[in-house]
Structure 1
C-alpha cells in the first residue's frame, strides 16, 4: 500500500531530533530504514535541501530549510511529488509553531514532541487524499522538482550499519563514494584563537624558510638544516589545524609527534630565533595540542524510544 509510515523533524546542523510521529511499526525492514534515517539526519548539512534515498520497499525523503529538516519514510511506490508536498506542509506547520530561537536552544532530543499531533494530522490527510485534491500544491512542487531534482542517495546496508556501530557515526554512499562522518564537538573561542595563532606561526615559518632557502641555494646549500627546521614546523602547524578541525585515528600520538617536532626544530633554530620567539612558537604549538586533545567526538544522542 502506498503511504507515509513515519515522519520527523530534525535540526540540520547536528541532526538533533526535535519531534517525530509515534507510530509503532515492528516490521524489520521499517526498523532498518529508521536506523538509516537516523544516520542520514546527522549529515543533512552536507546535502542540498531536497533528497531521496530509494529502497526496494521503503524510501526516505528529506526537505531542509534554515535550521530544520523534515524527513519521512514512505513506501517506495508512494509518489515523490506527494512526499515532498507532505514535507513542505509539515515544515510550514513546524515553522509556524516554533521560533528559531527555541529551535537553536533545544538541547535534548524530541524537545517538541507535542508536535506529533500535527504530524499525525498532516500524515493522515496525505495518506488518504489523492493528488487531484491538492492540485495547486502538486503543480508547485512538481515544477520545483523539475527545475531542481532531489539529490539521489544510496544507503548501503552493511556499510551504514558498520558506520553506526563505530560510535554512531553515519556512513553514506554519495555519487559512488562512501564516507563516514564522525561529529566533533563545537569549536570553542579558545580553539579559534589557537587556529589563528597556528596559521600565523605557519606563515612565519614558511616565509623565513623560503627566504633562507634562497640564500642557501646560492651558497652551495649551506644552512640547509635550518631550512628544513623552518619547513617542518610549517607542516606541523598545518597538520595541527587539520587535527583540531577533523577527527583522525590515533590523533593523540599524532598530536604529540607534531608538538615534539615543533619543539625540536625551534630549539635547533636557537640563534636564528631568540628565546622569546622560540617560547612563542612552542607555546602556540602547546595550546593547539591541548585544544586538539580536549575536543572530543560528539556524544551520540539517545533515541528516547520514539
Structure 2
C-alpha cells in the first residue's frame, strides 16, 4: 500500500504550484486533504521551514527552502522522518533541475510539470523499497527533527481558515505583483480592436493637448482648462488598456471613474471638437469599458489528479 499519496512543489511567496505528482485517488478524505494542502500552500510564509498538519488518517507535511517548498500527503502511520527525508530529496532534485530565476519568472501553474517524472521515481523509491543508502540521510533528518521539531499546524487557525469557505480554498484576487498569478480569459478580437482604438484616442488626446499647451504657455494661460481636458482622457485611455489586459481589484469602480472622466472631458471640449468626434471618443470608451467588465478571470481546469 502506498504511504506517500501525493507530492507537489510550490513557490513559497504566493503558493503557485510548480509541479505535482499525477495521482488518481478518488477517496473523499484524500480529496478534502488536497483542498487543505492547496489552502496551506498560499500561507507558507507564515510558518517555519518545516511543518505538519495531522488529519485523522492522513497527514500533510511541508519543507521549505528558499523560493520553493515541497509538500506531501502521507498516511498518518507513515513515519515523519521518512516523509521529511522524501521532501528534502525532492528539493535537492528540483534545485538541481531549475534555477531560482526560472522559479521566480514562472507565471502559470505547473510550469515545470515534467518534473512529475522525478516525483514519481522518488515517491516509488520511498514507498516500495528499503534502500540502505537512505539510512545515513534518515539519521541526519531524524537528528535535525529532534533539535528542530516541525511546526504542528492546525487548520482551524484563523489565518488559514480565512482563506477557506466550506472546505474550499477561496480565491483572493488582488492588484499588484501577486495578481499576476491569476490569468484572465483569452483576449478576444473585439478586445484587441478596443485596445487599438483606445491607443489611437489616447494618442490624439496627447497630441492635441501638447500642442495646445505649447500655445497656452507662450501666449496666455486661458487654455489651461482645455489642456487638462485633453490630457486627462489620454491617461484614462491607457488605464483602460491596462484594466483590460490585467486583473485589478475594484474594476467596476475604476472603469466607471475612467469612463465618466472621458465623457466629461469630451463634453467640456465641445467647440474644439465637433459632435461626431466627441461621440467617437465616448463610443470607444464605452466599448473598452464593456470589454473590461465582461472579461473574467480564467477558471482553473480540473486538476485531474495533478
* TM bracket, shorter-chain basis: 0.5 to 0.7
Aligned to 1:231: 231
Contact between 2:49 and 2:63, CA under 8 Å: does it hold in 1? yes
Contact between 1:194 and 1:284, CA under 8 Å: does it hold in 2? yes
Contact between 2:72 and 2:87, CA under 8 Å: does it hold in 1? no
Q: In 2 relative to 1, CA 129–266 (structure 1 residues): closer, same or farther, beyond 3 Å?
A: farther
Contact between 1:21 and 1:120, CA under 8 Å: does it hold in 2? no
Q: In 2 relative to 1, CA 186–161 (structure 1 residues): closer, same or farther, beyond 3 Å?
A: farther
Q: TM-score, normalised by structure 1?
A: 0.56
Task: Tell me the SS of whatever aligns to 2:62.
Answer: strand
Aligned to 1:20: 23
Aligned to 2:260: 260
Cα distance in 2 for partners of 1:217, 1:186 equals: 45
Contact between 1:8 and 1:17, CA under 8 Å: does it hold in 2? yes
Cα distance in 2 for partners of 1:55, 1:171 equals: 27
Q: In 2 relative to 1, CA 248–301 (structure 1 residues): closer, same or farther, beyond 3 Å?
A: same
Contact between 2:213 and 2:224, CA under 8 Å: does it hold in 1? yes
Cα distance in 1 for partners of 2:261, 2:297 equals: 26
Offset of residue 119 of structure 1:
7.2
Offset of residue 292 of structure 1:
0.7
Q: In 2 relative to 1, CA 83–256 (structure 1 residues): closer, same or farther, beyond 3 Å?
A: same
Q: Which moved more, 1:232-241 or 1:186-195?
A: 186-195
Q: In 2 relative to 1, CA 87–5 (structure 1 residues): closer, same or farther, beyond 3 Å?
A: farther
Q: In 2 relative to 1, CA 167–259 (structure 1 residues): closer, same or farther, beyond 3 Å?
A: farther
Correspondence 1:248 to 2:243: no
Question: For 1:176-195, what per-residue CA distance to the aligned partner results, in whole angstroms no more than 9, with x for missing partners?
Answer: x9946554322223222322
Offset of residue 83 of structure 1:
0.8
Cα distance in 2 for partners of 1:299, 1:125 equals: 35
The count of residues paired between Structure 1 and Structure 2 equals: 240
Cα distance in 1 for partners of 2:197, 2:266 equals: 16
Contact between 1:16 and 1:301, CA under 8 Å: does it hold in 2? no
Offset of residue 169 of structure 1:
2.0
Q: In 2 relative to 1, CA 222–78 (structure 1 residues): closer, same or farther, beyond 3 Å?
A: same
Offset of residue 250 of structure 1:
3.4
Q: TM-score, normalised by structure 2?
A: 0.56
Q: In 2 relative to 1, CA 219–293 (structure 1 residues): closer, same or farther, beyond 3 Å?
A: same
Aligned to 1:55: 50
Q: In 2 relative to 1, CA 246–158 (structure 1 residues): closer, same or farther, beyond 3 Å?
A: farther
Cα distance in 2 for partners of 1:121, 1:232 equals: 59
Cα distance in 2 for partners of 1:304, 1:200 equals: 44
Higher relative contact order structure (alpha carbons within 8 Å, sequence separation ≥ 6): 2
Offset of residue 288 of structure 1:
0.5
Q: How does 1:172-187 map to 2 (within 5 A)?
A: 179=178, 182-187=182-187
CA RMSD of aligned residues (A): 5.2
Contact between 2:4 and 2:123, CA under 8 Å: does it hold in 1? yes
Question: For 1:201-228, what per-residue CA distance to the aligned partner results, in whole angstroms no more than 9, with x for missing partners?
Answer: 2222122212211221223311111111
